[in-house]
Amino acid sequence: MRNETLETWVLLATAHTTPARVHWCDGSEAELNELRDQLQAEGILQRLNERTHPGCFVHRSDPSDALRLEQRRFVCTPRRDDVGPTNQWLPEEEAYRSVWPLFAKAMSGRTLYVVPYLLGSPRSKFAQVGVQLTDSPWVVLLMHTLTRVGHVALEHLGRSSDFARGLHCLDSCRLERRFVVEFPATQTWWSIGTAHPESSTMLESHFLGLVGSLAPEEGYLGEHMAVARITDPAGLELCIGAAFPSGCGKTSFATLSPCLPGYRVEMVADGMALLRVGDDGRLWALNPAVGINGMIGDGQRREGLSGWAQRARNVIFTNVGLCSDGSPWWEGGGKPYRPEVRDWRGRAWTPGTHAAAAHPNARFIMAARDFPGLSTDFDAPDGVPLSAIFFGGRRSTLVPLIIEANSWEHGVYMAATSRSEVAPGLGEPSGVLRNDPMGMLPFCSYNMADRFRHWLGLGRQLRRRPRIFHVNWFRRDESGRLLWPGFGHNARVLDWALKRIQRSADAQSTPIGGIPRSLDMTGLSLGGDALERLLQVDVGGWLREAAANGIFLERFGKRLPPDLHREHRALLSRLQAATN
């Protein structure tokens, strides 16, 4: 079946970028193998030891392109107010004057790949179609790994013109010409000069920006959220969504191995979820992706990833070190240094010569089906019902391990005012504290105040609302040591949340919400007053936090929903009452 809108758009892009060839991707295994061969020939991929790491590769990015783009991302809408105070607005004429010309002849001599992809199961009426045009075989490989590519998407699309359009051009990865520009009104994205997964595949732009902005008409929301199915020792199964900023533990949450006996955690979604109200009045979450795109951060090096991803098949490791025996290497991964390690740029490396063998934003990417802890619901066409939502962030001080919201509206307020320290290995200077509402700061291409309104509206439509919690795994003591071991030990926090859902645990009511009176600490001794500090509410500190958030909320002016004003004033008066 021909789709004229799609063909016209491909012709337009071809005329402007002048590629030597156009290749329509069919999503087949043969195509995938060809891409890998080509990337190996170009030295971008290197096969790992087939015996110890079957199907695995090391990928080396351009050294200047190891971080996600944030400062050079712009959103084009007719009015500045449509993007709100958390986005960089660009008038459309300006985008056509200064960025569009960068694409002129930019694919000369190269192949333009047309990548039709589907977000969501083909059996799902909620699936979304996008078409990515790119001259980077690496980006095609990423799309293959993360989404359903080829005929399946074209069939779903039929003759419809309702599809997201991405135009991506490698343009030799030139730093000074690196841009991401989004046009939400026409479901269009441009990306140039980068091959970083999140800036080049534009899946976040598509799913989090666009699906989010459709919410009021279509009745759903695109969230930066991992979803896990948790089984407790009594066999009760519940699903929980974890919506944290980038680098704050979504993938780790969905791949957690619980430290408490009898618990099981399975991954339903790695970092994107489509939320909607089900006919049963519950909140349902659907996983749109088929791959896992994760960071190899400090913690994963120590904990989870060093275990399962080191053993998994068909994993592509980006910007890690490489041993001469064909195995990947990273600091803290538990493997001893051997003299033959090459660093992430392929240079001979010895400890101390230059920074580290693995880049701080080293990553891995793999098909979800190769992850041993995958839930059978990861491609359920209707998704799974959520019993709770965890919002959260990275806070070395003040914010307790877990807070339970008093109500849906309070929970939306907590999520809307959540601040987080930028994780190491992201584009921004790390450690900077900033408001990152619902973990959506770099992705929400429309006015965040509208998003808050959607969330409040969602609550009104739900007959059985999930409970909302706010978690923080990242508290540190004065000398910078983590107060909480995190990862598998977060099962202790999950255990409390599950019991709250079943009304079998107590919460201490505080001005900021419900806090555990105790946690199951079997087999863990934190020493000193660590647990007390993790569960303590510092009223003075929270007054300062609320003041900062008041200034943040002011930035939305009249567009901010009144419910959030009310929650803000209520919090202030509860805090003030507690100081007297």
Smallest separation (angstroms) from ligand GDP to the CB of 473: 4
Burial zone of 23 (CB within 10 Å; 0-12 exposed, 13-18 middle, 19+ buried):
middle
Which of Mn ion, ligand GDP, none interacts with 482 (beta carbon under 5 to 8 A by kind)? ligand GDP
Smallest separation (angstroms) from ligand GDP to the CB of 487: 5
Q: Measuring CA to CA, how many Å separate 357 from each of 43, 49, 104, 296, 452?
A: 18, 19, 37, 13, 42
Contact 57, 50 (CB under 8 A): no
Which of Mn ion, ligand GDP, none interacts with 252 (beta carbon under 5 to 8 A by kind)? ligand GDP
Interface stretch with Mn ion, choices 39-47, 103-111, 233-241, 247-255 (CB under 5 A):
247-255
Which of Mn ion, ligand GDP, none interacts with 427 (beta carbon under 5 to 8 A by kind)? none
- Determine which residue in the list 19, 130, 209, 271 makes contact with Mn ion, applying CB under 5 A: 271
Q: Which is nearer to Mn ion, 134 or 251 (CB)?
A: 251
- Determine which residue in the list 294, 328, 400, 513 makes contact with ligand GDP, applying CB under 6 A: 294
How far apart are the C-alpha atoms of 18 and 205, rounded to whole Å?
Answer: 25
Q: Which is nearer to ligand GDP, 197 or 411 (CB)?
A: 197
Which of ligand GDP, Mn ion, none interacts with 116 (beta carbon under 5 to 8 A by kind)? none
Smallest separation (angstroms) from ligand GDP to the CB of 567: 26
Which of ligand GDP, Mn ion, none interacts with 473 (beta carbon under 5 to 8 A by kind)? ligand GDP
Q: Which is nearer to ligand GDP, 173 or 254 (CB)?
A: 254
Q: Which is nearer to ligand GDP, 358 or 468 (CB)?
A: 358
Only one residue has tokens 């998407």, namely: 153
Long-range contacts, stretch 308-313, CB < 8 angstroms, 24+ apart: 308/255, 308/371, 308/372, 308/373, 309/364, 309/366, 312/56, 312/366, 312/370, 312/371, 312/372, 313/53, 313/54, 313/55, 313/56, 313/370
Q: Which is nearer to ligand GDP, 130 or 247 (CB)?
A: 247
Phi-psi region of 346 (alpha: psi -120 to 50; beta: other; left: phi over 0): left
Angle between helices 562-579 and 448-461 (to 10 degrees): 90
Long-range contacts, stretch 520-529, CB < 8 angstroms, 24+ apart: 520/260, 520/492, 520/495, 520/496, 521/492, 522/260, 523/259, 524/259, 524/485, 524/489, 524/492, 526/483, 526/484
Q: Which is nearer to ligand GDP, 118 or 362 (CB)?
A: 362
- Determine which residue in the list 299, 321, 442, 514 makes contact with ligand GDP, applying CB under 6 A: 299
Binding residue count for ligand GDP, defined by CB under 6 A = 22
Catalytic option among 25, 169, 239, 248: 248
Structure tokens of 191? Answer: 């990306």
- Determine which residue in the list 124, 136, 194, 300 makes contact with ligand GDP, applying CB under 6 A: 300
Smallest separation (angstroms) from ligand GDP to the CB of 181: 24
Phi-psi region of 559 (alpha: psi -120 to 50; beta: other; left: phi over 0): alpha
Q: Give yes or no for residue 251 binding Mn ion (CB under 5 A).
A: yes
Q: CB nearest ligand GDP: which residue?
A: 297
DSSP tag of 272: -
Smallest separation (angstroms) from Mn ion to the CB of 295: 6
Interface stretch with ligand GDP, choices 289-297, 307-315, 324-332, 534-542 (CB under 6 A):
289-297
User: Where do the DSSP E strands lie in 211-305?
Assistant: 220-223, 226-231, 237-243, 264-269, 273-277, 283-286, 291-295
Nearest to 186 by CA among 78, 285, 81: 78
DSSP tag of 423: P
Q: Which is nearer to ligand GDP, 304 or 511 (CB)?
A: 304
Please report which residue ranges of 58-114 form alpha helices under DSSP H.
92-98
Q: Is 248 a catalytic residue?
A: yes
Structure tokens of 517? Answer: 């009176």
Burial zone of 529 (CB within 10 Å; 0-12 exposed, 13-18 middle, 19+ buried):
exposed
Which of ligand GDP, Mn ion, none interacts with 34 (beta carbon under 5 to 8 A by kind)? none
How far, rounded to the nearest angstrom, does the alpha carbon of residue 228 sit from its chain's CA centroid? 14
- Binding pattern to ligand GDP, positions 394-433, x when CB under 6 A? -----------------------------x----------
Which of Mn ion, ligand GDP, none interacts with 246 (beta carbon under 5 to 8 A by kind)? ligand GDP
Q: Which is nearer to ligand GDP, 190 or 364 (CB)?
A: 364
Phi, psi dihedrals of residue 277, rounded to the nearest 5°:
-90, 125
Q: Which is nearer to Mn ion, 95 or 273 (CB)?
A: 273
Binding residues for ligand GDP restricted to 235-264, rule: CB under 6 A? 244, 246-252
Smallest separation (angstroms) from ligand GDP to the CB of 256: 8
- Binding pattern to ligand GDP, positions 458-497, x when CB under 6 A? ---------------xx-------x---xx--x-------
Structure tokens of 296? Answer: 């190899």
Smallest separation (angstroms) from ligand GDP to the CB of 485: 7
Only one residue has tokens 């359903």, namely: 148
Which residues belong to the active site?
248
Binding site for Mn ion (CB under 5 A): 250-251, 271, 294
The residues of the shown chain that bind ligand GDP, judged by CB under 6 A, are 244, 246-252, 271, 294-295, 297-300, 423, 473-474, 482, 486-487, 490
